[in-house]
Chains A and B, each alone.
Chain A
């Protein structure tokens, strides 16, 4: 699923898009109007960024009556964490676990 990973990294590479994710993290389920409020950018520009986030799976939108609400979907970031970060921390954690075992073993 590296294509998926590519889309996530590309989506995260832009400060406006990271800002939008931060806004959704603070308060989920927002409309485009709410999200564009504090951005020095046209409504169209913000909509384009949201589309990139949606295509990368980082945002899921849902119709609610006449409104379209945007939800933060953190799962793709978690999967990148599982795929990359765990690989680098595993060894350190293993070393700590061994140290603990040695310290606790009186023999």
Chain B
């Protein structure tokens, strides 16, 4: 893979009152993603090389069908990204999402999400900016900090 153009990247960062392990779980466990990722349930073991899927709330569609590219729990997770949830964007080439989780003082964790390799995917870049990732990340924060609406996983 060629070096990504750093200008074809988006960076989002926030503090969360939770442990790095809890943040890792919130990214890789369906009972958490269902609360903040437009209702989507993630399916992955979180290990490098494993599949990384987002399934629509009704379970019928795959909104994401990628692979874990790098995994260092609970600090770093790199996954592919294609916007399969949108007919007009699903053919754009894959980009990449990096979740970085850093513990801070006082029981706080700094979460940085970098969405890069968007050079050839302008539609996806426009779609995930604006409210896209912001909505997801503020939802993730409030899910972890308030624990509201947590439903048990299971079938």
Contact = CB atoms under 8 A, between A and B. Distances in A.
Interface of A: 1, 4, 28-29, 57, 60, 62, 64, 69, 71, 73-76, 78-79, 82
A4 B6 CA distance: 27
Interface SS majority for chain B: mixed
A75 B137 contact: yes
Contact of A28 (B10, B135, B142): B10
Contacts of A73: 11-13
A71 B9 contact: yes
Contacts of B9: 28-29, 71
B14 A29 contact: no
B134 A28 contact: no
Given A60-B112, A75-B134, A75-B138, A29 B7 contact: yes
Nearest to A77: B134
A76 B13 CA distance: 8
B15 interface: yes
Nearest to B14: A75
Counting from the closest, the 3 A-B pairs by CB-CB distance are A71-B11, A64-B6, A29-B7
